[in-house]
Amino acid sequence: MVDSLTKPIISATEPDWSREQAGKWWEPNCQLLKSIRNYQKWQQHGGILGYLLCRLNIIYHRFWSVVTATDIPLNCQIEGGLILPHPNGIVIHPSASIGPNCLILQQVTIVGDVKIGGHVDIGAGAKIIRSVTIGDHALIGANAVVICDVPPGATAVGIPAKIIEKKASISEKSFLEVEETISK
């Protein structure tokens, strides 16, 4: 609770589009997401212009997919604010649903019908290999193999992934002790 006063809280419901903005042209992770977003925008627009710009964004998507060595389809269901710092080897099934403001590191595999909540951090090499639901603000450890649901705010680590309890920090413990003495 004390940490929340000094550390900004990342929303699990409202996408932060600034997280996807490229600072310079050669940021393959941002360019890949931009090609996906533009394709989906022009596909909804329709018409001849929409058709032509969809085809152009397919070419961009293929180029950036080769550069980043990822397999993220154009028709994926990704909400805004996704960060892919090292997109190498990321595989996402088209029917997987990813919430806003998530972080996905390299070599992550997400299979079909997975529902990932908002502000979920997925560590390098993690595999989500069953149709599961991952709650908001959850953490998936590096190389974890997730085969069961992860509740909101929980941390999953290991092979197969197990949910570990959140340990209160020293500042949280001292805050709770002060709060208990005040209430007495």
pLDDT at residue 180 is higher than 80: no
At residue 184 the predicted structure's pLDDT band, cuts being 50, 70 and 90, is low
pLDDT at residue 181 is higher than 80: no
Of 35, 68, 101, the residue at which a domain comes to its end is 68
Which string of DSSP letters, residue by residue, matches 76-89? -EE-S--B-SS-TT
- Residue that wins the pLDDT comparison between 177 and 116: 116
Structural domain range at position 113 = 79-184
Query: Which residue has tokens 């099934």?
Result: 93
Residue 115 near residue 97, CB atoms below 8 Å: yes
Q: Verify that 98 and 165 share a domain, yes or no.
A: yes
Residue 124 near residue 142, CB atoms below 8 Å: yes
pLDDT at 3: 52
> In this structure, is residue 33 part of a structural domain?
yes
Query: Which residue has tokens 């208990």?
Result: 180
pLDDT at 48: 94
Q: Which of 7-11, 63-67, 172-176 shows the highest mean pLDDT?
A: 63-67
> In this structure, is residue 9 part of a structural domain?
no
Of 38, 68, 98, the residue at which a domain comes to its end is 68
Domain count of the fold of the chain? 2
pLDDT at 1: 44
CA separation for the pair 159, 147 (Å, rounded): 9
The CATH number covering residue 133 comes to 2.160.10.10
User: What tokens were used for 126?
Assistant: 């993690």
Strand order in the sheet with 77-78: 77-78, 97-98, 115-116, 133-134
Write out pLDDT tens, residues 88-134. 999 999 999 999 999 999 999 999 999 999 999 999 999 999 999 99
> In this structure, is residue 6 part of a structural domain?
no
Of 25, 42, 68, the residue at which a domain comes to its end is 68
Apex CA 15: angle with CA 65 and CA 128, to 5°?
55
Question: From residue 62, how far is each of 81, 133, 134, 177 by CA, in Å?
Answer: 22, 29, 29, 56
> In this structure, is residue 148 part of a structural domain?
yes
Average confidence (pLDDT) over 33-49: 94
> In this structure, is residue 8 part of a structural domain?
no
Q: Verify that 129 and 154 share a domain, yes or no.
A: yes
Query: Which residue has tokens 């080897």?
Result: 89
> In this structure, is residue 4 part of a structural domain?
no
Write out pLDDT tens, residues 2-21. 454 455 688 888 888 888 88
